[in-house]
Structure 1
Amino acid sequence: MAIGDKILSLRKDKGWSQQQLAKEIGTSGPIIGRYERGEMMPSVEVAKKLAKIFRVTLDYLVDDTGDLADIKDRAILDRLLAIEKLEGEDKKTIVHVIDSLLRDAKARKTYSVQQ
């Protein structure tokens, strides 16, 4: 998905008009429209503002190959980075708990679909 499509999708998810988004990042509505249509690419600084306002990673916003940006949610990424910095038993315990919760969530989803 191209950056313009992502901007459009994220903006609509927030329920914002182009004007509202423009005001948030300090530009104009027509410029937002040009980004969304792929007529113009935002600068790195504008892309950083967009990523921050939408609470996504910059990689998610700018990567159009799908290779880098599997994690869209910045809060999730922040948590993963915090876990990665831990050492030893704390890290193992947290990963074990997450694995257990994911397994349980998948099982609930599987069984609720089959009923």
Structure 2
Amino acid sequence: MNDELHDFVKQLEECRAEGQELAALLCVEPVRHLSLPLCHETCAELRAMAEVFQCDEALLASAILRGALRHMQQHLNDDLDALAALARDRLTSPCEGASEAI
């Protein structure tokens, strides 16, 4: 576990030990979105690509998904670092502390 994530987990444990609500701390914006909408247009594009490359549509779709997952996996550590930094900033934010006091 890298330093950013380790420090954040320690802060979460401290908040939990003090009985503070963790829901607000755990709500952070994602740093990466991955989606592949399978609408009628996408299916038509897959069929056309499968025809061009003379391969099965399902195999082509699974290869595209595997590539997207491989790309996501390659950047996972960076994404976890970014999420931990966002969460740490939110945890130490004076605005967050003021809203909890209210």
Could you tell me the TM-score, scaled by structure 1's length? 0.25
Could you tell me the TM-score, scaled by structure 2's length? 0.27
Of structures 1 and 2, the one with the larger relative CO (CA 8 A, separation 6+) is 2
Of structures 1 and 2, the larger Rg is shown by: 2
